[in-house]
Amino acid sequence: MIYVGIDMQVERKLGGGLIITLIVVTLVILAYSVITSSLSSLLELYSMDTPVSLLVITLGWIISALRLKLLFESSMKGITLPLIDSLAIRLIGGLTANITPSSIGGEPGRAYYLSRRTGVDTVKSYALVIYEVYYDVLAVNIIGAFLSVKYLPLSTPVLLVSLFMSFSWLSISLKIVRAGRNMPSGPDAAPRWIPGFMRKHFNKLYAMYLDFASSYSEMASRISLGKKALLWLLTILYHTIWGIAALPFIHVFNVDAVVKVVEAYFIMQSFSSLPTPGGSGAAEYGLSIVLDPSIVVKYRVVYYYYGIVAGLISLIIYDNKLRRWVSWVLH
């Protein structure tokens, strides 16, 4: 009964957020297309370039699912996560990320379905997906910061955002690990700076944070250096592949073209850390620093709406209640 209530809340939030964000993102893409005189490029999506790009994006998602599987099984000893489940959870997380005001917003969706699939409690699941996104944030923003230097002064906002995100996530992660390793004891474990009249109400919330910090710290220490190196490699690999997905729209297949689209992708992703609906505006600006407007429009449409459609399909197939509803309709 609890899950049914949660499911209804999740569905309502997903539905409302999806509609609003889709409207905003679509309007921004159309406005960008009109302003840059590239509206006609949308018609060029009806070509073989689009399915090729979709296949490349799919490959990136599969590699990201391998990373989640590796991370989960390395930190949760004795519990396996099938690749198909890992892929579905990643895609559902991608859906929630695409309908929230940030490109880094898929953690609640991934944590919820990861907990349901594996039986791992919610706090540990959330700690795991936050630790997972730590790799994404640092990889994307550190690389984005280095690449944005090449395109100064146009990329100044990107450089500032990527540096802020890198330093803030690194410092927050270190603080969480430190808190998890130095757990206070006793019924009144709240920090001393909390006023006395608030301590009673704060203790419960603070205890939840310490539980999360303990799980996060344990996870970070349990994974070997070799596996951490592999996690970094897989992270950079699938993000690079997602950048290469723009290559079919350029119609030039050489090293310079590959470098160009990968640079555009990392700059786009780092700037999309700004809290805009589905990365709208920020994504277009980041891509435009490197790519022609017509390429920006086509890649933005394919990359963004792939995440929406694939995420919705995964949600319908993966969620038992929705699966029963679909079966009832079909029969």
In angstroms and rounded to an integer, the radius of gyration of the C-alpha atoms of the chain is 21
> pTM of the entire structure?
0.86
The DSSP call for residue 274 is: S
Which residue type does 188 have?
D
CA–CA gap between residue 254 and residue 63 (Å, rounded): 23
Query: Please, are residues 21 and 277 in contact by the beta-carbon 8 Å criterion?
Result: yes
Say what the pLDDT of residue 264 is.
96
Say what the pLDDT of residue 2 is.
38
Locus of tokens 């590796």: 70
Query: Please, are residues 69 and 90 in contact by the beta-carbon 8 Å criterion?
Result: no
CA–CA gap between residue 172 and residue 35 (Å, rounded): 40
Q: Exposed, middle or buried: residue 202 (CB in 10 Å: 0-12, 13-18, 19+)?
A: middle
Query: Please, are residues 251 and 48 in contact by the beta-carbon 8 Å criterion?
Result: no
Which residue type does 140 have?
V
CA–CA gap between residue 127 and residue 125 (Å, rounded): 5
The one-digit pLDDT tens for each residue of the chain (331 residues) are: 334 444 555 555 556 667 888 888 889 999 999 998 888 888 889 999 999 999 999 999 999 999 999 999 988 878 889 899 899 999 988 888 887 765 456 777 788 888 888 888 888 888 999 999 999 999 999 999 999 999 999 999 999 999 999 999 999 998 888 877 776 555 455 555 555 555 566 666 777 778 888 888 888 888 889 999 999 999 999 999 999 999 999 988 899 999 999 999 999 999 988 888 888 889 999 999 999 999 999 999 999 999 999 998 888 887 655 555 445 444 4
Query: Please, are residues 285 and 292 in contact by the beta-carbon 8 Å criterion?
Result: no
CA–CA gap between residue 98 and residue 76 (Å, rounded): 28
Q: Where do the H-state alpha helices sit in 99-224? A: 107-118, 122-149, 156-181, 196-222
Q: How far is CA 43 from the centre of its chain?
A: 29
Sequence-distant (≥ 6) Cβ neighbours of residue 255 within 8 angstroms: none
CA–CA gap between residue 81 and residue 93 (Å, rounded): 16
3-state helix, strand, coil in the chain (%, to 5): 80, 0, 20
Q: Show the beta-strand stretches assigned E in the chain.
A: none
Sequence-distant (≥ 6) Cβ neighbours of residue 12 within 8 angstroms: none
CA–CA gap between residue 220 and residue 130 (Å, rounded): 11
Phi-psi region of 131 (alpha: psi -120 to 50; beta: other; left: phi over 0): alpha
Query: Please, are residues 62 and 234 in contact by the beta-carbon 8 Å criterion?
Result: no
Tokens coding 215: 């799980």
Return the closest-CA partner of residue 329 out of 114, 16, 321, 235: 321
- Domains of the chain, by residue range, sit at 2-330
